[in-house]
Amino acid sequence: SLESVIENKTGVFFDEQTVESLIEALKKFENTKFEPKNSIENSKRFSKEIFLKNFKQTIASL
């Protein structure tokens, strides 16, 4: 999720793989107002068109 989530804009992270850390992240998530437009804009980075463009550029550079 590090590449798809923007901290405090489209989601939250938790630092440790512990129950306590996850609970804190869930509390933070519940108390944060996320704007849907931020998630929509962020998701465009993973569109089919962007993927194909980057894939073709990578192949061309080999």
DSSP structure string for 26-46: HHHHHT----HHHHHHHHGGG
* C-alpha to C-alpha distance for 49 and 5, rounded to whole angstroms: 20
Q: Is there a contact between 29 and 12 (Cβ–Cβ < 8 Å)?
A: yes
Confidence band for 11, pLDDT divided at 50, 70 and 90: very high
pLDDT of amino acid 2: 87
Q: What pLDDT, in 10s, does the model give residues 27-49?
A: 999 999 999 999 999 999 999 99
- Provide the pLDDT for residue 1: 80
Domain boundaries, the chain: 1-62
Q: 59 with 53: CB under 8 angstroms?
A: no
